[in-house]
Structure 1
Amino acid sequence: MTDTPYAARRVFVQRVPFAPTRYQCFDAARLIAESVVGAEPEVSCVIGIASGGIEPARLMANYLKVPFHSVRAKHNKGDALWQQATGNVEVLVDGTLPDRFAGTVLLVDDIAGTGATFSAVTAALSRRLDGGSAIMSAALFRNRGCPQPPDRWAWTVDDWVVFPWETPHRGPTQPLPPLRRVRTR
């Protein structure tokens, strides 16, 4: 278990939340997976950050034909809209994760709000990397306030995002702009 403090703040204009469809999320995950083909070193596995990163990570692992693993990380106090992250990320790495990783480990979450989760999970996994191995981070969304963006992401947003694998939002939602390309750091 790792507990990492982080001071960044997410940006929310508080209009109405974005609510991507499952298809939009899976299309973004596929495009991100396509964008890492040919990475050096080659992607050897995909790790989804539970719970939001699990579905896109599974899709990416299947697309890349590499093993899928997961880790748990949590710092939100709940699912209420427009809440700021606590900055304290609890990472739980269970015994099913390999002791060593070679190649590039693709670390996936649904959103990079502040970058704290990616930083904490990367720190927790770094001692498991073989020499010459690397961790590459990817998220479907990046909040505009995220000072340390993931290596790859699909959309940048300035409001809350309600994902199709979460409790549906009962009020109005705003549409996403068309996905034109994968963004890179």
Structure 2
Amino acid sequence: MSSTPDTARRVFAQHVPFVPTHYQCFDAARMLAESVVGTEPEVTCVIGIASGGTSPARVMADYLKVPFHTVTARHNASDAAFQQATGTVEVLLPEALPGRFTGTVLLVDDITGTGATFAAVTDALRARFADGAAVMTAALFRNRGCPLNPDRWAWTVNDWVVFPWERPHHGLTQPVPALRRVNAR
């Protein structure tokens, strides 16, 4: 378990969720993968944080031609929209996960709201990192209120995001702008 300070709050300005398309998510994952080519040490595997990070992580692993793994992390009380994170993250590492990681391990999630999930997963994996191994984080979306930015992200938003792999939102939504470039910390 890991916690973030109580001051880490997601920002929901308009209370109208963003709704990216499958194509936008696929294209963003590809652009994020392109942005890490040439990283030192080289990316040796991609780990998708289930469930939202699984689809983009799979695209990125395929693009980079490296192994794909998943871990489960959860800190939202439910799947309901516009909720603040609890700050406590539960991480479950599957038995099939390698016992040792070398190079750069790329952790991927669909959105980072506070940074707590990336921090908790990194902490849970730390004992498996060989000397010289590094962690890089990537997310399709970063909430504007996020105090711990990922290493790479596609969009910064100020509202809830409903992903194509989630239940559709019934009500007003707003489109995601075209992605021009990947953001880097």
* Superimposed CA distance per residue, residues 81-135 of structure 1 (whole angstroms, 9 cap, x where no aligned partner): 1100000100000111000001000000000000000000001111111111101
Q: Tell me how far apart the structure 1 counterparts of residues 14 and 97 of structure 2 sit (CA, whole Å).
A: 38
| Structure-2-length-normalised TM-score | 0.97
Aligned-partner Cα distance in 1 for 2:121–2:66: 20
| Structure 1 residue 14: Cα displacement | 3.1
Q: Which amino acid aligns with 2:116?
A: A
> Which amino acid is the alignment partner of residue 2 of structure 2?
T
Structure 1 position 123 matched with structure 2 position 116 = no
Q: 2 CA distance for matches of 1:158 and 1:16?
A: 10
Asked if residue 171 in structure 1 is aligned to residue 167 in structure 2, the reply is no
Instruction: Within 5 Å, give how 1:10-89 maps onto structure 2.
Output: 10-89=10-89
Q: Any conservation in 1 of the 2:75–2:90 contact (CA below 8 Å)?
A: yes
Q: How does 1:135-174 map to 2 (within 5 A)?
A: 135-174=135-174
CA distance in 2, matches of 1:43, 1:183: 18
Q: Look up the match of 2:3.
A: 5
CA contact 2:15–2:82 (8 Å) conserved in 1: no
The Cα shift of 1:178 comes to: 1.4
Gaps of 5+ in 2: none
Q: How far 1:9 sits from its partner (Å)?
A: 0.7
Give 1:15 deviation, angstroms. 3.5
For 1:72 and 1:79, the matched residues in 2 are separated by 15
Classify the secondary structure of the residue corresponding to 2:81: coil
Q: Which residue of 2 aligns with 1:114?
A: 114
Separation of aligned partners in 2, 1:78 and 1:19: 19
Unaligned runs of 5+ in 1: none
Give the deviation of 1:5 after TM superposition: 1.6
Counterpart of 1:37, as a letter, is V
CA distance, structure 2, for counterparts of residue 113 and residue 70 of structure 1? 20
Q: Deviations over 1:30-86 (max 9, x none)?
A: 000000000000000000000000000000000000000000000001111110000
Whichever residue aligns with residue 65 of structure 1, its letter is: K
Classify the secondary structure of the residue corresponding to 1:155. Answer: strand
* Alignment-derived partner of residue 91 in structure 1: 91
* Aligned-partner residue type, residue 159 of structure 2: D
Q: Which amino acid aligns with 1:90?
A: E
TM-score by length of 1: 0.97
- Find the counterpart in structure 1 of residue 133 from structure 2: 133
Taking the aligned partners of 2:63 and 2:177, their CA distance within structure 1 comes to 24
- SS at the partner of 1:99? coil
Identity of aligned residues (%): 72
Per-residue displacement from partner, 1:128-172 (whole Å, max 9, x unpaired)?
Answer: 111111010000000000000100000000000000000011112
